[in-house]
């Protein structure tokens, strides 16, 4: 099953599974968006669960792989200066340095090629801009045999369980780690803030 088909099928149920647990994590992550007006990319927008904590000063562009997810996000973002686009985070349809900041919530561990996803986000963010990441990551050297065993199946349906963030970051030039905080499940979920150099 492709991710496009999988998330099209999951869209009606996604909020019931994800919203409550991710609410405080999203709020804490988005508190780091500066108040100076700018242009912000929401990469892997999903159903728009970030909407309540997005500062009103910014112009937002939300991109998601599936129309079903975007359709759910649009009403949530109606109060913001917002435009939606269906597309692939591995190949963003934007010019270099066209955003002030980017938000990557629950996307790096979902996509099949997280390095390409992070490189693309870094490419479109201006020097000095922030990339806010919220996701589940293994630590370097962490065995996690069950998570690794389940990834071939879980990665085709919804999310990978074996992504090591440090390995992804090491293969993405032009980014500096500003903050890395455990967020949920004993630190499996992390809130990470990067700066575009």
Angle at 120 between CA 69 and CA 47, to 5 degrees: 15
Range of the domain at 189: 3-196
Q: How many domains does the chain have?
A: 1
Query: Could you tell me the pLDDT band of residue 1, with boundaries at 50, 70 and 90?
Result: low
| Predicted structure pTM score | 0.92
113-148 pLDDT per residue, tens = 999 999 999 999 999 999 999 999 998 887 877 777
- Decide: residue 184, CB within 10 A, 0-12 exposed, 13-18 middle, 19+ buried: middle
Query: Could you tell me the pLDDT band of residue 77, with boundaries at 50, 70 and 90?
Result: very high
13-51 pLDDT per residue, tens = 788 888 898 999 999 999 999 999 999 999 999 999 999
CATH code of 116's domain:
3.40.50.150
> Higher pLDDT residue, 187 or 40?
40
């Amino acid at each position: 099953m492709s991710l496009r088909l999988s998330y099209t099928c999951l869209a009606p149920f996604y909020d019931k599974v994800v919203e409550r647990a991710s609410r405080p994590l999203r709020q804490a992550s988005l508190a780091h968006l500066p108040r100076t007006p700018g242009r912000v990319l929401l990469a892997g927008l999903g159903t728009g669960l970030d909407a309540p904590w997005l500062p009103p000063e910014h112009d937002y562009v939300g991109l998601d792989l599936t129309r079903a997810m975007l359709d759910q996000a649009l009403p949530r973002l109606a109060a913001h200066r917002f435009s939606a686009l269906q597309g692939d985070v591995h190949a963003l349809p934007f010019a270099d340095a066209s955003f002030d900041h980017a938000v990557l919530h629950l996307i790096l561990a979902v996509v099949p090629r997280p390095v390409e996803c992070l490189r693309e986000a870094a490419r479109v963010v201006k020097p000095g801009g922030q990339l806010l990441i919220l996701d589940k990551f293994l630590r370097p050297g962490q065995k996690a045999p069950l998570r690794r065993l389940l990834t071939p199946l879980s990665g085709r349906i919804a999310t990978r369980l074996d992504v090591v963030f440090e390995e992804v970051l090491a293969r993405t030039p032009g980014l500096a780690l500003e903050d890395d905080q455990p967020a949920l499940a004993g630190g499996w979920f992390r809130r990470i803030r990067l700066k575009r150099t």
